[in-house]
Amino acid sequence: MSGAEERIAALVRRGESEREDLAIAVLDARDEIERRRAQWKAASMVATCLAVAGTVAWKLFGKASLAARLGRAASAVSLLVGLARGFQRIRRFW
């Protein structure tokens, strides 16, 4: 082998080695991207669940919810029943 052929063979070996190193680096990067994608997907799912739970809680227990309206109505009814009982007691004395 002449010097040029040896140099070409060395360059070919170096190219193969660098190609393998590059393939390994690309696989590592792909694995990292997939891992991050899975993390973001899980975080997105958790955030969505929290938003849905918050919305449902607000609809059920918020200021304008049915439960709040029933609570205010129950307070008013309780007040009226208490006044009616008091009026009945006072009326017994007359």
> What's the pLDDT at 73?
84
> What's the pLDDT at 94?
62
Q: Where are the domains of the chain?
A: 1-61, 63-94
Percent of the chain having pLDDT more than 70?
A: 97
At 80, list the tokens.
């009226």
Banded model confidence at residue 2, pLDDT cuts 50, 70, 90: confident
1: pLDDT strictly greater than 70: no
31: pLDDT strictly greater than 90: yes
58: pLDDT strictly greater than 90: no
The average pLDDT across 59-69 equals 77
Q: 33 vs 22, 36, 61, 72, CA distance in Å?
A: 16, 5, 41, 53
The average pLDDT across 31-47 equals 94
The average pLDDT across 63-72 equals 78
Q: 21 vs 16, 27, 28, 44, 79, CA distance in Å?
A: 9, 10, 11, 34, 81
The average pLDDT across 1-22 equals 92
